[in-house]
Homo-oligomer: A and B are copies of this chain.
Amino acid sequence: MANRASDTAMTETQCNCLAVRRAARQITQLYDRHLAPTGLRVTQYSVLSWLDRLGPLSIGDLAAAIVIDRTTLGRAIQPLERDGLLAVGPGPDGRTRCIKLTARGRATLATASTHWRKAQDEFEASFGKGASQALRTTMRHVVAAIRP
């Protein structure tokens, strides 16, 4: 046994957090590979997709929908705004800002969705379709299990 700092020997294989993070890294690379031709990362694709689904809305509301930190989203939209995929304008309130998809954003999203489909198909061909469904359910439970 010897010089171990503590009982951490098995931490890496027992840690739920590290397990999920590692999986996230790997699956992100797979999806990003497929989305690369569109110039979007999977996170950016998700922002556009939510925007397409929910329509124009504020940063806070969008962040709540994605389940992401508000300040993270604020930074994430910058490259998308720069590339003209979405537009940020004033909201009804003097405090809020309204984000909406541009025509170009909609077009890019349409193209990207076919690439996303291929990534999804590749993953599910290997991991299993039923297993993938169960995976998503499990991930929802993980999120639900964490009290803010």
> Which residues on B sit within 8 Å (CB–CB) of A45?
11
* Identical subunits present: 2
> Which residues on B sit within 8 Å (CB–CB) of A135?
16, 19-20, 138, 142
Question: Would you call A30 and B17 a contact (CB within 8 A)?
Answer: yes
> Which residues on B sit within 8 Å (CB–CB) of A23?
20, 24, 139, 142-143
Question: Would you call A5 and B106 a contact (CB within 8 A)?
Answer: yes
Q: Is A99 an interface residue (CB 8 A)?
A: no
Question: Would you call B116 and A16 a contact (CB within 8 A)?
Answer: no
Measured CA separation A31–B7 after assembly (Å): 18
Q: Is A110 an interface residue (CB 8 A)?
A: yes
> Which residues on B sit within 8 Å (CB–CB) of A20?
20, 23-24, 27, 135, 139
> Which residues on B sit within 8 Å (CB–CB) of A46?
11-12, 15, 18
Q: Is A71 an interface residue (CB 8 A)?
A: no
Q: Is A40 an interface residue (CB 8 A)?
A: no
Measured CA separation A109–B5 after assembly (Å): 6
Measured CA separation A106–B107 after assembly (Å): 53
Chain B, residue nearest A105 (CB): B5
Q: Is A95 an interface residue (CB 8 A)?
A: no
Q: Is A82 an interface residue (CB 8 A)?
A: no
Among A91-148, those with CB < 8 Å from B are: 101, 105-107, 109-110, 113-114, 116, 119-120, 123-124, 126-127, 131-132, 135-136, 138-143, 145-147
Q: A11-B46, A123-B145 are in contact. List 5 more A-B contacts (CB 8 A).
A: A5-B107, A5-B110, A6-B114, A12-B53, A17-B123
